[in-house]
Amino acid sequence: MQLLWLRNDLRLHDHPGFRIAAERGEPLAVVYILPDHWLTPDNNGLNRLGTIKARFLRATLINLHRNLNSENIRLTLISGDPVERLMECYDREPFTLLTQAAQAPEESAWLQAISDKIPTTTYEAMTLFSPEQMAPLTNTGHDDSPALWPKSFSAFRRQIESRLALPVAEPLKTQNLRLLDWLPGWPGNLTWPDDCVWPPHQGFSLNGGEDPGIRWLADYLWESRSIQHYKTSRNQLTGLKYSSHLSPYLAWGALSPKYVWHQILKYEREFGSDEHSYWLRYELLWREYFHWTLRLAGDRFFGQREVPIAHQERWQAWCEARTGIPMVDAGIQELKQSGFVSNRLRQNMASYLIHTLELDWRLGAAFFEQHLIDFDPASNWGNWAYIAGIHGMTSSDAGAEQMHQDHVFDLNWQLEQYDPALKHIKMWLPQLGDLTLKQIQSHQQGSSLIPNYLKPVASLPAS
């Protein structure tokens, strides 16, 4: 018997786990375990699976269930502690476990506990490059703190593009999975957060799942060809296809990064390479850099996990979109109602929380983790650390290093640069629809307040 435990590799295409299972030919069970602690609020009132995020995950699992069902394989969905649930099943009927290699310290702890008792085979499904390809930089197995690992993304990209010239392997062909189905006797069903089935109000609509992800990518590259304006439009705050919106599908593994990479190369072969197609692959390399940094840094990537709140009233205002900064409040409203915010606005929101509200960056990262449909531990926490001026590879206490002032964003300048018509603020704060850019900027600096709107809890410095 073999059991395939899926986590954030929720697809059939380019999936090494299904390939291994098909090659072995043994009866197969496929399971997704929702960790129950994801739904439990921490000391700061945050959990790890907000309603909109849960809705996207649920849709992704439903799509996977349908695709597996067509291959005569059932998907078992349960909740609980992953280690305990797998041990319970193994005690009833032994099996060989197939699962993705650990991406984060929590997963490493799970796999360590499980592999002590259950025969386990791991595979790579979330990165462009294999551990063997990355070995010259990671020094894996030789040094707990690899001296060769690039301390910046730019250095990493140069290594990949020049010295190593690493090719991205072709995605695996989808397997014929007509195996003997094995359904382990697991009691209990997966319990979802309340109301996660209801559609949110949002500026665009993304359906979770492998099939919707493949269709979205095909439209982006081949039908609407929205990639043609990616580099120039990606910093917008609103619009249907101002960005690729591939990140939710990559985060849950509904799309393989290798598949996306090679589809972009295919596009370049047909229409030619330009700054837009290069920049989309460039962003995939950013994702890769954060993933490998997290693997090497482990817990150092996050710093201390119990984060004290120095300014409780400021934190509460942030959580409730009551900071009095319309640009930030609109972003928080969008995040909580849609599960998505543009990358440009994420950076501005992070800068405000860290450098103006003077709250710990890990609070912001955890807040995003609760709500983002494209939450990815490496990319989310890595980007927050970047804005805070922290490098997780070099600090055992992520709050100890000096912040870099060049990561402080001028929100008024950013608003004028990327949304001078205030489309985003008017969408999410319609009560401010009649105001001008100058009125918003003056209010955010605290120099001339808007009547009947919240006073800033911390005003922006004068530009």
Query: So where are the chain's domains?
Result: 1-125, 127-171+209-299, 312-445
Q: Is the pLDDT of residue 156 over 60?
A: yes
The pLDDT confidence band at residue 401, using thresholds 50, 70 and 90, is: very low
Is there a contact between 326 and 433 (Cβ–Cβ < 8 Å)?
no
Q: How many residues does the chain have?
A: 463
pLDDT (0 to 100) of residue 83 = 97
Q: Is the pLDDT of residue 166 over 90?
A: no
How far is the C-alpha of 36 from the C-alpha of 33, rounded, in Å? Answer: 9
Sheet-wide strand order for 28-35 = 75-80, 28-35, 2-6, 96-100, 120-123
Mean pLDDT of all residues belonging to the chain: 88
The pLDDT confidence band at residue 403, using thresholds 50, 70 and 90, is: very low
Q: pLDDT by residue (tens digit) across 300-334?
A: 888 655 566 778 999 999 999 999 999 999 999 99
pLDDT (0 to 100) of residue 201 = 46
Query: What would the DSSP string read from start to end of 149-198?
Result: S-SSHHHHHHIIIIIS-PPPPPPPPPP---PPB------S---PPTTTTS
pLDDT (0 to 100) of residue 300 = 85
Check: pTM over 0.85? Answer yes or no: yes
> Where is pLDDT greater, at 299 or 444?
444
How far is the C-alpha of 386 from the C-alpha of 378, rounded, in Å? Answer: 12
Q: What share of the chain is helix, strand, coil (3-state, %, to 5)?
A: 50, 5, 45
pLDDT (0 to 100) of residue 249 = 98
Return the CATH class of domain 127-171+209-299.
mainly alpha
Q: pLDDT by residue (tens digit) across 168-211?
A: 888 777 666 555 555 555 555 566 655 554 444 444 568 999 99
Q: How many CA atoms lie within 13 A of 388 on its CB side?
A: 28
17-26, 179-188, 292-301: least confidently modelled range: 179-188
Q: Is the pLDDT of residue 426 over 60?
A: yes
CA distances to 68, 153, 160, 163 from 287, in Å = 28, 10, 13, 20
Return the CATH class of domain 312-445.
mainly alpha
List phi, psi (to 5°) of 397.
-120, 105
Domain covering 1-125 assigned CATH 3.30.499.10 in the classification: no
